[in-house]
Structure 1
Amino acid sequence: MRFKLIIVLLAFVPFTSMAQDRKSKADILFYEYQYEKAIAAYRVEMEKNTLTNHQLLNLADSYFSTGNHKNASKLYLNVNKNDTIMSANRFNKMLQSLSKNSEKDRIKTFLNSKADKLSPELLENAAFNYNLLEITEDTDNSIIRNLAINSAQGDLSPAFYKNGILFSSSRARNNKNIYEPTGESYLDIYFARLGSNNTLIDVEAFKEIPATDYHKSTPYFSEKLATFFYTLSNAEEGELKYDENGKNSLAVGTFSKNNRFRFILKDLSTSFYYPFFDDNTERLYFAASFDDSYGGTDLYYVNTNNGQIMSAPINLGPRINSPGNEIAPYIFNGTLYFSSDIFYGLGGMDIYKSNILPNDSFTIPVNLGEGMNSSLDDFGFIIQNDENSGLSGFFASNRAGGKGRDDLYGFVVKNTPGIKTFSLGGKVVNLSTKVGLKGAQVRLLNQKGAILREVIAGNDGSFRIEIPWKSQVTIQAMSDGYSIFSTTYSEEGMEEIQNTSYNMGLVKMEDLMVQLEDKTVLKLSKFYFDKGTSVLNAQVENELKKVVDAVLRFPQMKLRIQSHTDTRGSSSSNKRLSQERADVIKNYLLKNGLNSNNIIEAIGYGEENIVNNCVNGAYCLDFLHKQNERTLFVVE
């Protein structure tokens, strides 16, 4: 069954308030979530009349919800081909159906054919995760256990609290009403104490939050505010409240230690759930389905001041939210964990992680892979430091082998779960003007020089690039008419730079050159050897480093090294001295990154080509003699 508890947590719409808008018995059954009966009724109606596209999609959804993905995909594809009414969420279901039928290549072909109509983030996320999930190396170091406290009903949404966890359950209680769409008790909040080896024991109904006859679920406790955040049905004085269309939605409320309750996210037509309060930023994250949704349920946050909402809901954007459903946000050590049923996962709901960047953007969400995820629904992931094992936590799943509709699972891991990636962001700029270079190419290369990934910088020169972790990468940036930036990092350096804004400066070749003596030469500061020697001093070395830098930026550059002296001393000794200096310069350049292809020749001209009237026998001041003592790097 498709993630039933998404339906449980979404609003219940009584049939009596909407029957006047439906003329089909099959439609009625569909909107009552009776999918098997709806399929049978639609098939009967198809023999009498042609179904509308809306009804065909309802039938496709029914097949999808009952696991008949072959029939579901056929219907979705036919409607998508002939009509434009398909929502982003149903588009995701269509691709999920193809994935369930093991038609991954067909999905990729479909994505390529629709690339101009799909968001670049969706395409990049899909390609990246498809690539990650094909990695066969054993990266899962987790120990995962089904917990003894699970019931035959639904147990989900764990949250750390004191020496145990809070969680939601539809297990039966005498004082709890029955929720009609599922036939089970309305969700309530329970507490279980943390035992040894990350087990849970001593389950009891949690009584610190006020009782309600309806849904009370997905709790989170903020240590900073000493306040519980949780989801509950919209009700007043013990009665459910409905909007004008007969819809009862879910709200987010808080209950503080001073026994004060208040609704903080409430709209009779919109459901809010899975609240998470980040004590560091005072942002309240949650899931909801607003009009600006990228698909089904999206993740949002609001800014707060001491828990008081101070902003409109802010969508986390297309890097996180997709045409599918995103739920259950949780932040740990600068990483956002959440669940999504986007089509490129392993099954229904999968758990993903994404690093939060300094500019409030996110890295590509990474599927945590098999183990944490299964072919069914995995969601409600929480994690914390564990002095015994490294890291430990809990999540919910309806994977095979469980005790109920959804079970709680505990895990311990030595390292952060999921396949490790290398992510880098920053700008490519003109080194002279500091202006970003639009359209610059940024590449990551492996140890053999093969391109691992390539992206194009945006209008302001900004880029972000991400790959599965490697032991070494070379980072390159290039743009037409500019130099090449290239630097290699080992793992330690990669760890250091991936959390920074990494900027790469490129230069135009003409900015490195100047016309001198009717020649094109490298632009350098004037430098001098010590009198009568060919030994490199600090001043000479400093300028030669600029030559190395220029050639490394333009590897095809070819130079002629031309060394000159003044006329003091004999012509023969000056000739010999200038040649020694030219040779010393050449050897330095070859030892520091240049190769023989970069140096056409290194010639000492002595006093043959003086540039003023300081000829042999003429009296000249020292500064005039020094005009003749020079080394030129002629660019060919």
Structure 2
Amino acid sequence: MRFKLIIVLLVFVPFLSTAQDKKSKADNLFYGYQYEQAIVAYKSEMQKDSLTNHQLLNLADSYFSTGSYDSASELYLKVNKNDTIMSVNRFNKMLQSLSKNSERDRVRMYLKSKADKLSPELLENAEFNYSLLEIPSNTDNSVIRHLGVNSAQGDFSPAFYKNGILFSSSRGRNSKNVYEPTGESYLDIYFARISSNNNLVDVETFNEIPATDFHKSTPYFSEKLETFFYILSNEEDGELRYDENGKNALAIGTLTKNDRFRFILKDLSTSFYYPFLDDATERLYFAANFDDSYGGTDLYYVYTNNGQIMSAPINLGPRINSPGNEISPYVFDGSLYFSSDIFYGLGGMDIYKSNILPNDSYTIPVNLGEGINSTADDFGFILQDVENTGLSGFFASNRTGGKGGDDLYGFQLKNAPGLKTFALGGKVVNLRNKVGLKGAQVRLLNQQGDVLKEVIAGNDGSFRVEVPWMSQVTIQAMSDGYSIFSTTYSEEGMEEIQNTAYNMGLARMEDLVTQREDKTVLKLNKFYFDKGKSVLNAQVEEELKKVVDAVVRFPQMRLRIQSHTDTRGSSSSNKRLSQQRADVIKNYLLSNGLNSSNIIEATGYGEENIVNNCINGAYCLDFLHKQNERTLFVVE
């Protein structure tokens, strides 16, 4: 009963069309959602003739829908091995079947073997959530409450409205026709008041949205626009409208405070589900199955202006959308909550949370874990901040112990659900020309120096990495022939940098050195101590910072500090002054990150190595004398 009320119940396709008359009895039962009868019929037909791969996949889907995961996985694997007709959505079902049979390690091995054919986002999402599910959930199951307003039919898709919630239900009403494929009433919208103990009471039909003989469901109310967004069957003059294939799809309509109704997203061949308007951005989120879908239903948004559609649908991309089905988008406090039946969850539809980043990208969706999620379908998650009590909300689930197919559940939490993560994105670039470094390694290390995550930068040097939150992280970048970048941040710094594009510059050794006096030396600007002194001034410190930076980038670098003076003054005093200056430089470097292994020697040569003709007794202009006053950092 996985999508009975989520997807199947909402789309009606007549099964008496000419094209479908050519199908076998088992096919017609399958397309009529009568999966148990379809299994019996397919088995019978197999005795007479072999099934096509399409029919084998239909049989696999039937096993999957009735919970026979062993049989389902066997058929999916068989077809996947011998043919290429399997859709990405069925690929997801194949892996779900294996996961349902506690073969998670087999799934991980399968993903590893197909890594070159799968999106990096899917692989990263899977590995992250597999690791996450090994951590005990921090959600106390006692905070999840079954609600008394549930019926023996399906109740789902809660949405806050005034002092209560709106929700969808297929509970029977005399005024509603029966939806033939399921034998239940067409969906309608109901209202329940939230009591003082956060329960739901006083259920009644919601009459502020005009009645219809067909589906009316999954409402959302925008307080900013004072407008209802909801889905309803495509109809005209009280009659359902069908596309050329006999399909009646669902549209999104709005009803304003002035009782003005209009369709805003409508296509006879495409159904739209679960509208949600983010008042802050005026983005209308929804689920649909367009041609650019990554699997089944994907999440999209359109830009709106006072409820008017202002853009084409924008797919949220492979970080959010998967080979499975994504539904029920909900934005709260900068995070996107949604449900997905992707194979790496607990089972069925699970609720996930992803942070929305400033550049319109998303962090890895995090499974909310056991409690809110179960091995059944969990979806339609909403929450709000209630003064003095923390966070409270509702969701729907068809987990065991319920009253009907899908039931409403309530919860209260002290903190936002879901594991907090540290996500960082940016580029690794050549420090000199800012060109991205393809293939650079980016690593995150914990406080103990253990590598938490390592990724490879893309063609333009771009990278993205994400790990569970911690109190400290070290970020490193490296590339063959280049220096090492390494910086450590505490929590405050982590909060700051993850909201920006984080670029790391790496230097090549040849860009940092030059040849002087037949030696390889660090490339620095000429600097001078104050006359006759060995105290660091601002000019000297500025250049010494470059020395520190060079050694930090190349930790194995070994230097000889060689300090020289001109010939003015006695040779003994010049020798002593140059040694003092060399020692002061060495002490500065050691106190600013270098260690003794980086400095082979620090020697003052006084006036021993004059580079021009300004020897003792010779008359020279000041700038010629200054050519002899120098400090070299010789690279060994």
The two structures have a TM-score, normalised by structure 2, of 0.97
C-alpha contact (below 8 Å) 1:339/1:352 kept by paired residues: yes
Aligned 1:102-121 pairs, distance under 5 A = 102-121=102-121
Q: Aligned equivalents of 1:355 and 1:9: distance in 2? A: 31
CA distance in 2, matches of 1:125, 1:18: 43
| 1:269 counterpart residue number | 269
Matched, 1:291 2:291: yes
Matches for 1:30-49 after TM superposition, within 5 Å: 30-49=30-49
Q: How far 1:471 sits from its partner (Å)?
A: 1.9
The answer as to whether partners of 1:22 and 1:28 remain within 8 angstroms in 2 is: no
Give the unaligned 5+ runs of structure 2: none
Report the residue type matching 1:88 in the other structure.
V
8 Å Cα contact 2:304/2:310 also seen in 1: yes
Deviations, residues 433-458 of structure 1 (Å, cap 9, x unaligned)? 12222221111011222211111112
| Correspondence 1:525 to 2:525 | yes
Tell me, yes or no, if the aligned pair for 1:142 and 1:413 is still in contact at 8 Å. no
The 5-angstrom pairing of residues 305-344 of structure 1 reads: 305-344=305-344
- Identity, in percent, stands at 84
- Alpha-carbon distance, 1:308 to partner: 1.4
Counterpart in 1 of 2:491? 491
Partner of 1:600: 600
Query: C-alpha separation between the residues in 2 aligned to 1:599 and 1:135?
Result: 46
1:137: Cα distance to partner? 6.6
Any idea what SS the aligned residue of 2:16 has?
helix
Structure 1 CA distance for aligned equivalents of residues 195 and 8 of structure 2: 30
Structure 1 Cα separation of the partners of residues 585 and 465 of structure 2? 39
Between stretches 270-279 and 134-143, larger displacement belongs to: 134-143
1: CA distance between counterparts of 2:463 and 2:599?
35
**Residue 132 of structure 1: aligned partner:** 132
2:540 maps to what in 1?
540
* Structure 1 range deviating more: 471-480 or 113-122: 113-122
**Residue 377 (structure 2) aligns with:** 377
Q: Which residue of 2 aligns with 1:472?
A: 472
- The one-letter code sitting in structure 2 at the alignment partner of 1:233 is S
Question: Structure 2: how far apart are the matches of 1:20 and 1:154?
Answer: 29
Please give the residue correspondences for 1:170-319 in structure 2 after superposition, counting only pairs within 5 Å. Answer: 170-319=170-319
Q: What is residue 614 of structure 2 aligned with on the other side? A: 614
CA distance in 1, matches of 2:137, 2:564: 61
What amino acid is the match of 1:171? R
Q: Does 298-307 or 317-326 show the bigger shift?
A: 298-307
Shift of 1:561: 0.2
Deviates more, 1:374-383 or 1:194-203: 194-203
Q: Deviations over 1:376-407 (max 9, x none)?
A: 10001112222123222111111122121111
Measured in 1, the distance between the counterparts of 2:258 and 2:537 equals: 75
Match of 2:101 in 1: 101
**CA displacement, residues 40-63 of structure 1 (integer Å, 9 cap, x when unaligned):** 111111112211111111111111
Aligned to 2:588: 588
Instruction: Note the C-alpha offset of 1:123.
Output: 1.3
Q: Distance in 2 between matches of 1:486 and 1:222?
A: 47
- Give the equivalent residue in structure 2 for 1:56: 56
Q: What CA distance in whole angstroms lies between the structure 2 residues aligned with 1:540 and 1:629?
A: 13
What is the distance in 2 between the residues matched to 1:305 and 1:43? Answer: 55
Aligned equivalents of 1:7, 1:226: Cα separation in 2 = 28
SS in 1 for 2:6: helix
> Could you tell me which amino acid in structure 1 is paired with residue 261 of structure 2?
F
Equivalent residue number for residue 630 of structure 1: 630
Deviations 1:315-344 (A, max 9, x none): 111111111111011111221111000000
Residue deviations 1:70-103 (CA, integer Å, cap 9, x gap): 1111111111111111111111111100000011
Secondary structure at the aligned position of 1:338 is classed as strand
* CA displacement, residues 183-238 of structure 1 (integer Å, 9 cap, x when unaligned): 11111111111212322221111111110011100001112221111010111122
In 1, the alpha carbon distance for the partners of 2:436 and 2:10 equals 46
Unpaired segments ≥5 residues, structure 1: none
TM-score (normalised: structure 1): 0.97
Deviations along 1:13-36, one digit per CA (max 9) or x if unpaired, are: 122235743342111211111111
Task: Please give the alpha-carbon distance, in whole angstroms, between the structure 2 residues aligned to 1:462 and 1:136.
Answer: 33
| 8 Å contact kept, 1:155–1:169 | yes
Q: Which runs of structure 2 are paired with 1:544-583 in the superposition (5 Å)?
A: 544-583=544-583
SS of residue paired to 1:317: coil
Give SS of 1:424's match: strand
Aligned partners of 1:536 and 1:390: how far apart in 2? 56
- What SS does the aligned partner of 2:384 have? strand
Name the SS for the 1:274 alignment partner.
strand
Q: Please say if residues 10 and 215 of structure 2, whose CA atoms lie closer than 8 Å, have aligned partners that are also in contact.
A: no
Question: Is the 8 Å Cα contact of residues 137 and 369 (structure 2) preserved in structure 1?
Answer: no
Contact (CA 8 Å) 1:369, 1:419: kept in 2 or not?
no
Superimposed CA distance per residue, residues 534-593 of structure 1 (whole angstroms, 9 cap, x where no aligned partner): 222222222211111111011111110001111122111211121121111111111111
Aligned counterparts of 1:457 and 1:411: Cα–Cα separation in 2 = 41
**1:147 counterpart letter in structure 2:** L
Q: Is the 8 A contact 1:563 1:603 kept in 2?
A: yes
Structure 1 distance, partners of 2:96, 2:339, is 15
Deviations 1:113-136 (A, max 9, x none): 222221221111111111111123
- Contact 1:3/1:348 (<8 A) preserved: no
Q: Give the conservation status (yes or no) of the 8 Å contact 1:141–1:414.
A: no
What's the offset of the Cα at 1:141?
Answer: 9.0
SS of residue in 1 equivalent to 2:197: helix
The more displaced of 193-202 and 255-264 is 193-202
Cα shift at 1:306:
2.0
- From the superposition, tell whether residues 150 and 21 of structure 1 become closer, same or farther in structure 2 (CA, over 3 Å): same
Matched position secondary structure for 2:581: helix
Counterpart of 1:514, as a letter, is: T
Instruction: Report if aligned partners of 2:326, 2:341 keep a CA contact under 8 Å in 1.
Output: yes
Looking at structure 1, the residues matched to 23 and 537 of structure 2 have their Cα atoms a distance apart, in angstroms, of 93
Aligned to 2:433: 433
TM-fit CA distance, 1:140: 5.8
Distance 2:105 2:592 in 1: 48
The one-letter code matched in structure 2 to 1:89 is N
User: Could you say what secondary structure the match of 1:15 adopts?
Assistant: coil
Q: What letter is aligned with 2:490?
A: S
**Structure 1 residue 624: deviation in Å?**
2.2
Q: Offset at 1:528?
A: 1.9
Residue 427 of structure 2 contacts residue 461 of structure 2 at CA under 8 Å; is this kept in 1?
A: yes
1:397 paired residue number: 397
Alignment-mate amino acid for residue 502 of structure 1 = Y
Cα deviation, 1:491-532, whole Å, max 9, x if unaligned, reads 222122111111111122222122211211111122222222
* 1:398–1:327 Cα change, 3 Å: same
Q: After the TM superposition, which parts of structure 1 deviate over 3 Å for at least 4 consecutive aligned residues? A: 7-10, 18-23, 136-142
User: Where does residue 79 of structure 1 map in the other structure?
Assistant: 79
1:47 partner amino acid: Q
Q: Deviation digits for residues 142-173 of structure 1, max 9, x if unmatched?
A: 82211121111111001111111111011111
- SS, match of residue 129 in structure 2: helix
Deviation at 1:139, TM superposition (A): 6.2
Cα contact 1:483–1:506 (8 A) shared by 2: yes
Contact 2:476 2:487 in 1 (8 A): yes
Q: Give the aligned residue type for 1:35.
A: Y
Question: Alpha carbons of 1:450 and 1:429: their partners in 2 closer, same or farther (altered >3 Å)?
Answer: same
Asked if residue 356 in structure 1 is aligned to residue 346 in structure 2, the reply is: no
